[in-house]
Amino acid sequence: MKAIMELEIKGKVVVITGASSGIGAAIATTLAAEGARVVLGARRTERLERLAEQIRERSGEVVYAKTDVSRRDDLVKLVTMARERYGRVDVIVNNAGVAQLSRIDALDVEGWDEMIDINLRGVLYGIAAAVPVFKEQGSGHVVNIISTSGLKIVPMQGVYAATKNAVRTLSEGLRQECDGGLRVTGISPGFVHSELADNIRNEDMRNAIAESAQRMAIEPEAVARAVAFAIGQPAHVELGDIVIRPTAQQ
């Protein structure tokens, strides 16, 4: 009988977007330590190079490519690279995301477009790149990193939450349409120590999010362990939705 906490991760090929820092980097290092072969995509190649070096120093297997998830061709190239290098793709983790928080009537249309392109369109492009490979193999796992912002709607986060809830909806739709052929998991983190707040243009919101994170945020490795737990289950077991947040978060 297998040990209770033994996870089936070793040897799996896992594509991770937004892998250059924060949650994405933690997922990469955690899975590589468990024997997964990780394929990393992000826009900051110098960060990816340093992360790959760290993984290799610990005897992990890793390749990476510059990837802008708002460009469909970039996702296709990333998944194709994974398959050509390792012969298959077992998991895609759609992690890349941005937050531009402001009142809706402030009409930050540029911020709306950025969030739609990365948070929603980027996930769809990841799915479009990976699912044909999964269908050909007869197996695969889509893991979408969502957010607790979609579970509790508050002022200043309306459009951000809308993009995350769109991902929640399409995750469930994909799960049902796959009819057991593929696994789909949505993971909703709360406050996590990451660089997400650093790119918020609204100074008041940037400071407020940074203050809340400083006070209560969990480490990105906690989210990475949740991802590992989900993808490490036996092939016939699917974890659909995981919410992971600080105990102090309301």
The one-letter code for the residue type at 95 is N
Nearest-angstrom CA–CA distance, 159 and 147: 13
pLDDT given at position 200: 75
CATH number at residue 116: 3.40.50.720
Pick the closest to residue 228 from 33, 21, 88, 67 (CA basis): 33
Question: How many domains does the chain divide into?
Answer: 1
pLDDT given at position 90: 98
pLDDT given at position 5: 63
Instruction: Catalogue the E-assigned strands of 133-218.
Output: 141-145, 183-189
Is 63 within a domain? Answer: yes
pLDDT given at position 179: 85
Write 52-59 long-range contacts (CB < 8 A, 24+).
54/29, 55/28, 55/29, 58/32, 58/33
pLDDT in tens, the chain (250 residues): 345 568 999 999 999 999 999 999 999 999 999 999 999 999 999 999 999 999 999 999 999 999 999 999 999 999 999 999 999 999 999 999 999 999 999 999 999 999 999 999 999 999 999 999 999 999 999 999 999 998 999 999 999 999 999 999 999 999 999 988 899 999 999 999 877 766 777 777 777 777 777 788 899 999 999 999 999 999 999 999 999 999 988 7
pLDDT given at position 2: 47
pLDDT given at position 1: 38
User: Is 125 designated active site?
Assistant: no
Beta-bridge partner residues of 64: 40
Cβ count near 31 (within 10 Å): 28
Token digits for 118?
Answer: 């990365």
Query: What's the domain range around 101?
Result: 13-244
Is 3 within a domain? Answer: no
Q: Taking a C-beta distance cutoff of 8 angstroms, is the pair 45, 66 a contact?
A: yes
40 alpha carbon, distance to own chain's centre: 11
Kind of pairing between the strands at 141-145 and 91-94? parallel
Is 2 within a domain? Answer: no
Is 117 within a domain? Answer: yes
pLDDT given at position 101: 92
Pick the closest to residue 239 from 199, 164, 186 (CA basis): 186
